Structure 1
Amino acid sequence: MAEPGVTLSNPVRDVCDYDLLFDCVHCGLCAEACPTYVVTRCEMDSPRGRIYLMKSLAEGRIDLDDDAARHLDLCLGCRGCETACPSGVHYGRLIEGARSFVERNHRRSFADRLKRRAVSAIFPYPDRLRALLAPLKLVDYLGLRTALRAIMPHVVRDWLDLLSPLQANSRPLAKAAALTPRADAPTVVVHHGCVAQVLADSENINSERLLAAAGYRVVQLAPNSCCGALDLHSGNAARALDFARANVRALKNSGADAIVSAASGCSVAIAEYGDLLKDEPEFAEDARAVSSKVRDLSSLLLDAPAKPKPEFHCRITYHDACHLAHGLGVREAPRKLLASVPGVTIIEMTESDLCCGSAGSYNLTEPTMARDLARRKADNIVATGAEYVVLANPGCEFQIAAELRRRDSKIKVVHLADFLAMASL
């Protein structure tokens, strides 16, 4: 019960959307769906525990100390709890609000501030990321990655390990569509994201080519701004709103009937622009319209007329990217699409929808928990005996591939668009 003087509309502190906290009935069904609780078995590292923590902070019953901030920081924002929750708790909105509160009111250690500011200053801006990686391309070309790792600080080595050799980063591209789509065909725009267009642009290009081959009219987006997901997850609400406004303008101007992203986290961020900008009269209506057009690649390809596919014999397993499964509720469409490729055998993995530990920039800011989850994910992948693990998010790709490389595994980690491109050649 709230403290005297605290009401649903009058919390002591603006931690999050206070009214939403009361949707939680504290049943605990979310706990086993929470990756951090599965690892730590600590109640305060479960969604129920964090909701209690947010409520206590809002009502002024506890202070925002290092321990409270730590439990909130450790959340991956994967939204597995939303899928498990029988009460429809909007946990994603709650944790994003709480993180913004933490960033405004808690002073982190110098090392933590430096790390987070580096991520914030570089990753949402493709030109900055390209410039940062340019010397690493030369290092990889000369075969000096191992020597570079040996002299780098520990935190930099961990970040380097998430990048496969940049010279070997190219993927086969799907054949360009030979026919011009019908004039009345639906139009689709692929949002290229920020990190994805630098480190995994084949996924964007293959998405566009596969859609064009399926009969859609693909239009280009200009400008292409960061979706804002990294900022929402890290508590930088002001810049997230700036990115959202820029994208709403650009996506509206594209005139597309459907909006796709090769990064599931970006898809969910765009799908929530309507809620994010609901209080801004200049953007609210357009934001709702943009959000309503978000689709996933697999669903659009399944909606198109079926065409004969060449055989591609292999064993694959499928990893459910968190925001695709829990944010958009898409699970069966990618599996159905993959099963339609002649020769493909799908082997389901244990805990296919448990977070791999990538979670945007989480594997950069919380490397210990991220590695624990990567090991758990890799164990489940290896147990399937698959040759490929297919997924729909580049962050998951980098995270899982890094762990499999540590094991000298020959299992290939491939984005859905790149896999379909390979299978079509």
Structure 2
Amino acid sequence: MAEPGVTSSNPIRDVCDYELLFDCVHCGLCAEACPTYVVTRCEMDSPRGRIYLMKSLAEGRIDLDDDAARHLDLCLGCRGCETACPSGVHYGRLIEGARSFVERNHRRGVLDRLKRHAVSAIFPYPNRLRALLAPLKLVDHVGLRPALRAIMPPIARDWLDLLPPLQANLRLLAKAPTATSRADAPAVVVHHGCVAQVLADSENVNSERLLAAAGYRIVQLESTSCCGALDLHSGNAARARDFARANVRALKKSGADAIVSGASGCSVAIAEYGDLLKDEPEFAEDARAASSKVRDLSSLLLDAPLKPKREFRCRITYHDACHLAHGLGVREAPRRLLASIPGVTIIEMPESDLCCGSAGSYNLTEPTMARDLACRKADNIVATGADYVVLANPGCEFQIAAELRHRRSKIEVVHLADFLAMASQ
């Protein structure tokens, strides 16, 4: 119950969209869908507990101390709770608002601030990331990463371990179509993202070539800006809106009928531009239009199936990237597409939709929880006996691959677009 004088239109503090807090009936059905609660078994690390915490902060019943900020920081933003919730609670909006409140009103420790500043200053800007990684690319070329790792401090070593071998981003590319698409074919644009275009650009290129081979007309963005997801997750809503405006302009100019991203987190961010920019008359209509055009690669390819592929005999398991499954509700389309490949056997893994711990930059700022979840995910993958684990998000790919490399597992982690390209050769 709110304190006297506190109403749904007059909370003491602007923590989040206060009225949305009352959608939660505190049934607790979200708890077992929450990765952090599954690990800690702490009520304040469950969605219900965090909603109660947000409400208490908004009503002035508690202060924003280190403990309160910690429970909010530990949320992965995976939205598994939204899938489980029978009341339709918009938890994603609530946690993003709460994190913005934390960033405005809480001073973190020096090391935490440095880590978050590094992520914010580098990751959304591909040219900065390329420049930073250029020396490491040379190190990988001459095979000296193990030696470099041995002399690095633990924090830098943990970050290094998450990076894929930079000289090995050589996934087989799907063959470029020999004929151009019809002029009246649906136009599709692939948003190349920020980190993805540096560390996993084969996934973008393969997406475009597979879609072109299926008869779609591929159009390009004149300029690609970060989708804003990293900022939304970390509480920097102002810069997220800047990125959203830039993307809305570029997407409108492209004339695309459908928008695809190889990163499911980017897809969800773009799908929510309509809500993010709803109060800006100059952008609101175009933002809603962009949001309505977001599709996923597997659904588009199922709508225009390719010719039967050659046999590609292997066993695979499929990991549901959080934002694809919980944000866009896409689960069956990738499985149907994979099952259509002759020779492929799909083995379902337990907890396929439980977060792997990547969550954008979460594995950089919360390495302990991220590693616990990566270990849990890897245990489930190994138990399937699969040759490949296929997924639709590069962040998940880096996180799971790092853990499997640590175990010296031979299971290969492959993005859906890259796997389809491999199977089409």
Distance (Å, rounded) in 2 between the aligned partners of 1:172 and 1:334: 20
Match status 1:106 vs 2:70: no
Pairwise CA distance, 1:245: 0.3
Pairwise CA distance, 1:181: 1.0
**Matched residue, 1:243:** 243
**Matched residue, 1:129:** 129
Give the letter aligned to residue 389 of structure 2. Answer: V
Equivalent positions of 1:299-310 (< 5 A) are: 299-310=299-310
Q: TM-score, normalised by structure 2?
A: 1.00
Give the letter aligned to residue 421 of structure 2. Answer: A
Equivalent position SS for 1:128: helix
Distance (Å, rounded) in 2 between the aligned partners of 1:359 and 1:164: 17
Match status 1:189 vs 2:189: yes
**Matched residue, 1:165:** 165
Equivalent positions of 1:295-374 (< 5 A) are: 295-374=295-374
Equivalent position SS for 1:390: strand
**Matched residue, 1:416:** 416
Give the letter aligned to residue 348 of structure 1. Answer: E
CA contact (8 A) 2:169 2:202 kept: no
Pairwise CA distance, 1:164: 2.2
Pairwise CA distance, 1:33: 0.0
**Matched residue, 1:78:** 78
Give the letter aligned to residue 248 of structure 1. Answer: V
Deviations 1:151-178 (A, max 9, x none): 1111100000001221122211000011
Give the letter aligned to residue 413 of structure 2. Answer: V
Match status 1:33 vs 2:7: no
Pairwise CA distance, 1:69: 0.1
Deviations 1:28-59 (A, max 9, x none): 00000000000000000000000000000000
Which sits farther off after the overlay, 296-305 or 164-173?
164-173
**Matched residue, 1:257:** 257
**Matched residue, 1:147:** 147
**Matched residue, 1:379:** 379
Distance (Å, rounded) in 2 between the aligned partners of 1:416 and 1:207: 9
Distance (Å, rounded) in 2 between the aligned partners of 1:296 and 1:393: 11
Distance (Å, rounded) in 1 between the aligned partners of 2:305 and 2:174: 18
Pairwise CA distance, 1:310: 1.0
Deviations 1:355-386 (A, max 9, x none): 00000000000000000000000000000000
Distance (Å, rounded) in 2 between the aligned partners of 1:347 and 1:141: 35
**Matched residue, 2:390:** 390
Equivalent position SS for 2:316: strand
Give the letter aligned to residue 291 of structure 2. Answer: S
**Matched residue, 2:68:** 68
Give the letter aligned to residue 90 of structure 2. Answer: H
Match status 1:205 vs 2:195: no
Pairwise CA distance, 1:95: 0.2
Distance (Å, rounded) in 2 between the aligned partners of 1:170 and 1:97: 40
Equivalent position SS for 2:359: coil
Distance (Å, rounded) in 2 between the aligned partners of 1:222 and 1:244: 15
Pairwise CA distance, 1:306: 4.4
Pairwise CA distance, 1:144: 1.2
Distance (Å, rounded) in 2 between the aligned partners of 1:222 and 1:400: 33
Structure 1 residue runs of 5 or longer lacking an equivalent are none
- Aligned pair count reads 425
Query: Identity of aligned pairs, percent?
Result: 90
Give the letter aligned to residue 285 of structure 2. Answer: E
Match status 1:93 vs 2:111: no
Equivalent positions of 1:171-182 (< 5 A) are: 171-182=171-182
Equivalent position SS for 1:170: coil
Give the letter aligned to residue 67 of structure 2. Answer: D
Q: TM-score, normalised by structure 1?
A: 1.00
Deviations 1:208-239 (A, max 9, x none): 00000000000011210000000000001110
Equivalent position SS for 1:395: helix
Distance (Å, rounded) in 2 between the aligned partners of 1:67 and 1:292: 39
Give the letter aligned to residue 318 of structure 1. Answer: Y
CA contact (8 A) 2:386 2:411 kept: yes
Deviations 1:172-217 (A, max 9, x none): 1000011111111100000000000000000000000000000000
CA contact (8 A) 2:164 2:199 kept: no
Equivalent position SS for 1:316: strand
RMSD: 0.5
Equivalent position SS for 1:242: helix
CA contact (8 A) 2:76 2:362 kept: yes
Give the letter aligned to residue 417 of structure 1. Answer: A
Pairwise CA distance, 1:110: 0.5
Give the letter aligned to residue 410 of structure 1. Answer: K
Distance (Å, rounded) in 1 between the aligned partners of 2:341 and 2:94: 40
Equivalent position SS for 1:177: coil
Distance (Å, rounded) in 1 between the aligned partners of 2:276 and 2:392: 24
Distance (Å, rounded) in 2 between the aligned partners of 1:146 and 1:171: 23
Structure 2 residue runs of 5 or longer lacking an equivalent are none
**Matched residue, 1:156:** 156
Match status 1:216 vs 2:207: no
Pairwise CA distance, 1:136: 0.2
Give the letter aligned to residue 357 of structure 2. Answer: G
Equivalent position SS for 1:399: helix
